[in-house]
Structure 1
Amino acid sequence: MTVQILFAAKEERWAQYEAPLRRALEGAGITDYVLSRDIAPEAVDYMVVAPNGPVQDFAPYRNCKAALNLWAGVENIIGNPTLHMPLARMVDHGLTRGMVEWVTGHVLRHHLGMDAHIHGQDGKWRKDIPPLAEERRVSILGLGELGAECADALRYLGFDVTGWSRSQKDLPGIRCLAGEEGLAEALGTAEILVLLLPKTADTENVLNAERIAQMPRGAVIINPGRGPLIDDDALLAALDEGRIAHATLDVFRTEPLPPEHPYWAHPSVTVTPHIASETRDETASRVIAENIRRGEAGEPFLHLVDPKLGY
């Protein structure tokens, strides 16, 4: 029977993904298929979906076996009351490696104090010797796929890495904490803090004034996770007071970040335009094709979202 696959994302994504998806489907042994942006709802077997795509009402797709998200984040789709089929989030090798490279680069940048040399070309001989990585304490909030990979990369470089997650994890060479007491401990030792939690009702404003106050004075915050994890007013106040030395932020409550937002002009903030990690069409297409192969073979889908947890 022909597998009917609806591509429910914006037109520019179709131009980007059509050829890689066809290659991936055929590579997964799926040769009898229709891949299109226009399939009658009742005929759709699988839906490749982006939360900002054309499908917002999932009720008509009553025979759809799974919605396969193009993005890692599912916060803008999981709460849709019409979503009745299983939802798989994107866990993509390319996305993961991109995040590891971005996080590692910015942790090293702050650890080594590179900004002072890059921006301080004023004739002053600044010979500030940084500590070794093994003497620098880094905490990562969120030990899912991305957080665990970043923690492992930083551990490999020699950093003293602590990880925190809602449920207890066990990762080789990483001090893993959980619960409210564990969060306070992770924050209390974080000379560099990396935020890689998903956006849920429980994680919004997880870094508020009270929790920022638990961090060592002069700490650095790096957020490539989700914008709403941070109380922006609390962070700006902590930066103004010098409690937090610098914040490197890749994600924001409103994107693109409005030109008038105080982050742009703050001397202790680095803004990057949501580039920490992007889904790569070739590798993401292989993840989608594998889930379709699994669905047709009666095997469990990969990376299913738990609606109760929100990720």
Structure 2
Amino acid sequence: MPVNILFSARPALWPVYEPLLSQGLRDAGLDFVLATEFEPDQVDYVVYAPNGGLLDFSPYTRLKAVLSLWAGVESIADNETLTVPLARMVDHGLSQGMTEWVVAHTLRYHLGMDEHITVQDGVWTPEAPPLATERCVCVLGLGILGQATAEALAALNFRVIGWSRTPKQIAGVTCLHGIDGLKTALSQAEIAVLLLPDTPATENTMNTETLALLPKGARIINPGRGPLIDDDALLQALNSGQVGHATLDVFRVEPLPPEHPYWAHPNVTVTPHIASETRPVTAAQVICENIRRGEAGEPFVHLVDRQLGY
């Protein structure tokens, strides 16, 4: 009997993913049917994105797993109709893209590139920036993306502090955890990179109290999730000079409304959620591997802890 795989995502993605998934499944030696429509009780796996419209999983009585195309699963993790394993997207294309984006903006801040680009006043000021060894970068969130980013920054000789809710160990990175660890990390963070998941426990991680812990004039880079930041608190910190500049790629409301104060603030750089994205070629490989594992009776990879929400 073939394995029935439902593709539930934006229709525009079907012609992109169908040949990639089909080839990967054939390479795995699987007998399969891949389609955008099935009778629910005939589906073995769902390749899923929240914008595909599928919300009620209760009719899918044969379902073995839901395999998300997105790294963030906050919109589905608490779905009470979903009782089978849920895997989030972790692929090396996503990690590489995020690492490149974060490293670029970290170097931009570290080297003072904004001043050289925007200030052309004829004044010759030969002041070289410090070396990376003299700059502390704090990465909040040490999951797959956070770890990859922290390792890349450490390889450039930045003094990297990583913070997570639970203990982690990463070569070349000082890893802290817990509330006291967060305070210690932020107190040294000349550049703070936010790569935490969006959960009730991480909402407003950057608020009036935590922003006040940063060294005065610190920079913030947020390619993680919009709700990690209390927007009003950040704007106050920017206006007071407590935070020198913020580069923000994600927001509570997207697209960011034209009237939002971030757009006009002189110390904010807005990018339109482009830090990284799921790459179809590498994402299809991850999906096919999990289906192969499921059919072989092996453990799925990248499973979501439904209690933690990631």
| Correspondences of 1:226-305 after superposition (within 5 Å) | 226-305=225-304
Answering whether residue 115 of structure 2 is matched by residue 98 of structure 1, we say: no
| Correspondences of 1:19-168 after superposition (within 5 Å) | 19-30=19-30, 32-168=31-167
Query: Mind listing any 5+ residue stretches in structure 1 that lack a counterpart?
Result: none
For 1:84, what is the secondary structure of its paired residue? Answer: coil
1:45-99 Cα deviation digits (max 9, x unpaired) = 0000001212111111111100000000000111112111110000011000000
**Match for residue 15 of structure 1?**
15
CA RMSD of aligned residues (A): 0.8
Partner amino acid for 2:148? E
Distance 2:270 2:28 in 1: 40
Distance 1:302 1:238 in 2: 40
Distance 2:124 2:15 in 1: 52
TM-score by length of 1: 0.98
- Offset of 1:128 from its aligned partner? 2.7
- Offset of 1:17 from its aligned partner? 1.1
- Offset of 1:28 from its aligned partner? 2.2
| Correspondences of 1:135-214 after superposition (within 5 Å) | 135-214=134-213
- Offset of 1:125 from its aligned partner? 2.4
For 1:213, what is the secondary structure of its paired residue? Answer: helix
- Offset of 1:124 from its aligned partner? 2.7
Distance 1:35 1:220 in 2: 46
Partner amino acid for 1:308? Q
Partner amino acid for 2:228? L
**Match for residue 217 of structure 1?**
216
1:3-47 Cα deviation digits (max 9, x unpaired) = 1000010101112211111122122222x1111000110000000
Partner amino acid for 1:33? F
1:179-238 Cα deviation digits (max 9, x unpaired) = 100000000000000000000000000110000000000100000000000000000000
Distance 2:89 2:306 in 1: 15
1:115-154 Cα deviation digits (max 9, x unpaired) = 0111122323232311000000000000010000100000
For 1:221, what is the secondary structure of its paired residue? Answer: strand
Partner amino acid for 1:143? L
Partner amino acid for 2:4? Q
Distance 1:98 1:49 in 2: 21
TM-score by length of 2: 0.99
Distance 1:310 1:163 in 2: 21
Distance 1:179 1:169 in 2: 11
Partner amino acid for 1:8? S
**Match for residue 3 of structure 1?**
3
Partner amino acid for 2:11? E
Which 4+ runs in 1 deviate beyond 6 A?
Answer: none
Distance 1:51 1:241 in 2: 39
Distance 1:27 1:189 in 2: 49
What is the aligned-residue identity percentage? 63
Partner amino acid for 2:60? Y
Partner amino acid for 1:200? T
Distance 1:4 1:131 in 2: 57
For 1:52, what is the secondary structure of its paired residue? Answer: helix
For 1:25, what is the secondary structure of its paired residue? Answer: helix
Distance 1:258 1:81 in 2: 32
